[in-house]
Structure 1
């Protein structure tokens, strides 16, 4: 039985578990909000691994484990919440989704006028089930389903090699040299492959250019060259696929941010690049085959917007992001709203009807404090929210709040 069949059967067996799409910033959100969030989402949330095919238990890539086991029945530890922790210390999870860690970003001015976005990562220690600060040399971390292995890139990006980090020991068990410098890696939903996005320059560095008079100011640049698919178990690197970043507008600017990474879709059969604004486009995503050719959106994902939560595991719902007054849940076939959930940003499906999301503090949901939010669990068809953390605050020594990294557990 191949992996696709296994995933499908596992999802059918769990008819009440992990569902729904991420509809982040789809046309309902003002363009201004997109721009305000773009830096954080691109810098940190792009490091977030969405849980999609959570019917498959994680692979221990470091040990070369090839087995995938379908989950059966509800978990005894269905919800692990710490609503008293504004900065997570202990493991947080809901349904088949766990928080593998979190990141915090900051902008660091450079001596030449450039500005560099730098991330700090805090990862789950599988033994203690607590979050610990990762080595500062890692400029990019993507945690595999199962939360035992992470793919890491050394800074400054783009990196020449990809490390397989054992989260139990904190040691790199293997290095993979893709042959192209890469600045992002993402795991496939089944945890068997990686897509590595190649860049000529660091997409997290805004480059100083002349402004009015003699003043220089940092701006985004586009340098993506393409991507590679990598077999995580063997380390085999597939052929380089040429997918250059679109040219800038007449002012030399790129929409949103410099970083435009390549992502796996709901079932890992296609790839897409997220667009930060529609600007007359029919979709928020540019779609590609695994071989790099432009293609159309899968039928169930043609209405998918910004969020990676996207399509529910059983294909019934498509999640959309909204604001303080809640977010739409849509029919994937028509794009029509079929329900609303009391959260503003949908991060990942915990099962076929429940979502892990961000929701603002009810006492401050005035529309002005939408970013004062906490991690919650919401259910399609219910107005109830289950807090998973307290309202997010900045970790000690940082100015920005943390961004969750979610994956299948």
Structure 2
């Protein structure tokens, strides 16, 4: 299959109204953890027993009642609650775990640290995840045929179009300004490549800060701008945008610096770790007011954002009798519409169901979480993966971070 055929099929197969989960899910969750840790929250390691893998039918979904009316169920749920990290495809409705990655800290001779990702990509032919250590960042286009990839040595001078079925790069697109992060537009036709003048995954000992009574290296502000790439043609245009240097402490690379697309793909979202959390920009980099239904976007670092029909907004943690609870907001007023289970809302499955990280029952450890399917206003959940266990505050040692895309 040629590149043009690949892109054409991808664009044809994805639904016109579908909104892919943001490509920077992990960065946004990490930023949220930084804010929570700065408010004095800590975590402990808890071992949890895994349960038998299963494919869940719509009848297994909960029927919560303290929010908007729920849909009749979700079809196509593929659940593997005994697998962590996953081996076989995890999916719910149109939303698929297209990839996941783990991060390890590679210490350098000068005491700097490079946080290196290892991706596991879903092969659409086999339905299984395969390790691919070539890439530092991966954004999967709707349709699950193509991914935009960046090589490990950063900043990279090109991005690749990867055929997920063959594991081959079909085209290299030059980015002479230095690629460091990538996201794909909701329609799959464009990519925004955030550029840097040095490795955004490097933590510098010279910039060290005190963290939990120990000096730790920290990231440098090295963003230079972004390039919007037309994927069918490979044409791109670069625009300068400086990083937000008001952040007092940036513990994780790229947090608050990588750009992504708004819900309809007409604008870019520039994430920050301090208010305002999201700055909206035109595709030429000009800052503009937030669209009406996205003015409360990501106030707590929540990846899911706006629901597909635009009537609900994923919110942050909320107090409740459950071990963890999150809220769903009215995107126009910012007021709470409903409560449901979930520690972090990751991606909308449809207008009334989401995929979330949630803490295992009986646990208080936010790192000992599993993927679950939750319903807006529901008090129950359907496990999708086994629990991940992390032992430190690093991004994902012993754990993994998801990358979602639409079928």
Task: Tell whether the structures are fold-level matches, with TM greater than 0.5.
Answer: yes
Q: Which residue of 2 aligns with 1:313?
A: 308
Deviation at 1:145, TM superposition (A): 1.3
Structure-to-structure mapping, 1:362-377, within 5 angstroms: 362-364=361-363, 368-377=364-373
Q: Deviations over 1:132-168 (max 9, x none)?
A: 101x222222111111111111121110011111111
Deviation at 1:31, TM superposition (A): 3.2
Q: Which residue of 2 aligns with 1:169?
A: 166
Q: Is the 8 A contact 2:21 2:405 kept in 1?
A: no
401 and 191 in structure 1: CA distance in 2 versus 1, 3 angstrom threshold: same
Q: Which residue of 2 aligns with 1:43?
A: none
> For 1:31, what is the secondary structure of its paired residue?
helix
Q: Is the 8 A contact 1:19 1:352 kept in 2?
A: no
Q: Is the 8 A contact 1:143 1:151 kept in 2?
A: yes
Cα distance in 1 for partners of 2:33, 2:131 equals 34
Cα distance in 2 for partners of 1:325, 1:378 equals 12
Q: Is the 8 A contact 1:344 1:360 kept in 2?
A: yes
What is the count of residue pairs matched by the alignment?
Answer: 346
Q: Which residue of 2 aligns with 1:137?
A: 134
Q: Is the 8 A contact 1:18 1:96 kept in 2?
A: no
- Unaligned 5+ residue runs, structure 1? 1-5, 38-72
Structure-to-structure mapping, 1:221-232, within 5 angstroms: 221-232=220-231
Partner of residue 149 from structure 2, selected from 147, 152, 164: 152
Cα distance in 1 for partners of 2:38, 2:143 equals 31
Q: Deviations over 1:252-301 (max 9, x none)?
A: x55454421111011111111111133xxxx3111111121011111101
Cα distance in 1 for partners of 2:328, 2:33 equals 15
Cα distance in 2 for partners of 1:329, 1:121 equals 31
Deviation at 1:335, TM superposition (A): 0.6
> For 2:293, what is the secondary structure of its paired residue?
helix
211 and 293 in structure 1: CA distance in 2 versus 1, 3 angstrom threshold: closer
> For 2:157, what is the secondary structure of its paired residue?
coil
- Unaligned 5+ residue runs, structure 2? 1-11, 42-70, 391-395
Deviation at 1:237, TM superposition (A): 1.0
Cα distance in 2 for partners of 1:28, 1:392 equals 18
Deviation at 1:354, TM superposition (A): 0.4
Cα distance in 2 for partners of 1:75, 1:342 equals 17
- Superposition RMSD on alpha carbons, in Å? 3.4
Q: Which residue of 2 aligns with 1:351?
A: 350
Q: Which residue of 2 aligns with 1:3?
A: none
Q: TM-score, normalised by structure 1?
A: 0.77
Partner of residue 285 from structure 1, selected from 266, 278, 296: 278
> For 1:104, what is the secondary structure of its paired residue?
strand
Structure-to-structure mapping, 1:134-283, within 5 angstroms: 134=132, 136-209=133-206, 218-238=217-237, 240-247=238-245, 253-255=248-250, 257-259=252-254, 260-278=257-275, 283=276
Pick the structure with more strand per residue. Answer: 2
Q: Is the 8 A contact 2:208 2:217 kept in 1?
A: no
Deviation at 1:91, TM superposition (A): 0.5
Q: Which residue of 1 aligns with 2:61?
A: none
333 and 77 in structure 1: CA distance in 2 versus 1, 3 angstrom threshold: closer
Q: Which residue of 2 aligns with 1:294?
A: 287
> For 2:324, what is the secondary structure of its paired residue?
coil
> For 1:182, what is the secondary structure of its paired residue?
strand
> For 1:81, what is the secondary structure of its paired residue?
coil
> For 1:370, what is the secondary structure of its paired residue?
coil
With 192-201 and 170-179 compared, the bigger mean Cα shift is at 170-179
Q: Which residue of 2 aligns with 1:53?
A: none
Q: Does 1:390 find its partner at 2:349? A: no
Q: Deviations over 1:106-125 (max 9, x none)?
A: 11111111111000000111
Cα distance in 2 for partners of 1:142, 1:19 equals 10
269 and 210 in structure 1: CA distance in 2 versus 1, 3 angstrom threshold: closer
Q: Deviations over 1:196-255 (max 9, x none)?
A: 00100111101121779xx996222101011111111111112x1110113357xxx554
Cα distance in 1 for partners of 2:38, 2:294 equals 21
126 and 35 in structure 1: CA distance in 2 versus 1, 3 angstrom threshold: farther
